[in-house]
Amino acid sequence: MADIDDLLAEIASGPQGPSVGAFFDFDGTLIDGFSAALYFRERLTSGEVGLGELTATLVEIFNMSQRGHDVTRLVEVALGALAGREVGELERQATEMFRTKIAGRVYPDARRLVAAHLDAGHTVALASSATRFQAADAAADLGIENILVTEVEVIDGLLTGKVDGPILWGPGKAQAVTEFAAARGVDLTESYAYGN
C-alpha cells in the first residue's frame, strides 16, 4: 500500500474511539487475490465441480469481466452448487482453506492497518460480498469482530443453495455499512474505508 507509514501516523493522531469506523473489503484488499477463486479451484481439483457448474461459472465470469454484470448470478451459481451441504462440514473446510491457502495471502500492510485501527479503539468491520465461510477465519485472525458478508440460507443445518438477504456487492454493501454504522453510532464522515 502506498504511504502506509503516513496512513498509520494519521490513524494514530486522528480521532479515536468506537464512533470512528474502519471498513475493510476482503478480496483483493485484506488478501491477495479472490477467495472464491481459491475455493472453486479446490473444488475443481477434487472433482466436486460438474460440467454444468463449470460452464455456468465460466459464463458468469465472462459476463462480469466483459459485459459489466455484477456478482449476483455468479454467487447464485456457486451457492446453488452447495445446496444440501452441512454447515459444520463447510466450516471445517473453510478453516482448513484459510490455514493452507488464504492465511499466507493476507497483506502485511493490511494487517498493520487493522491493528492500528484496533489500537485506536475504532469500530473495525470486514464488509464483503464473500460468504461467512470465506471470510470469518481471516477476520478472526486479524482480530476483526464485525463481519458484514453475504449470508447463506440454512435450514436444519443444511445449505439451501440460496442467499439469506442481500448480496453485499456495490449498493448492497454500502447499505449494509450504513445500517451497521447507524446501529453502532459510527460517524461515517470520520471513518475509513479500504477497498482494492
Among residues 164, 165, 125, which one has the least CA distance to residue 148?
A: 125
Amino acid at 55: T
pLDDT of the residue at 36: 86
Q: Is 26 helix (H, G, I), strand (E, B) or coil?
A: coil
Model-level pTM?
0.90
142-170 tens-digit pLDDT: 999 999 999 999 999 999 999 999 999 88
Residues with pLDDT less than 50, the chain: 1
Q: Give me the pLDDT at residue 52, please.
A: 85
Distance between CA 152 and CA 146 in Å, rounded? 17
The whole-angstrom separation of Cα 87 and Cα 115 is: 30
The answer to whether the Cα torsion of 28, 132, 47, 100 is positive or negative is: positive
Average confidence score pLDDT of the chain: 93
* Residue 164 CB-half CA count within 13 A: 12
Q: Residue 103's pLDDT is what?
A: 96
d(CA 35, CA 134): 6
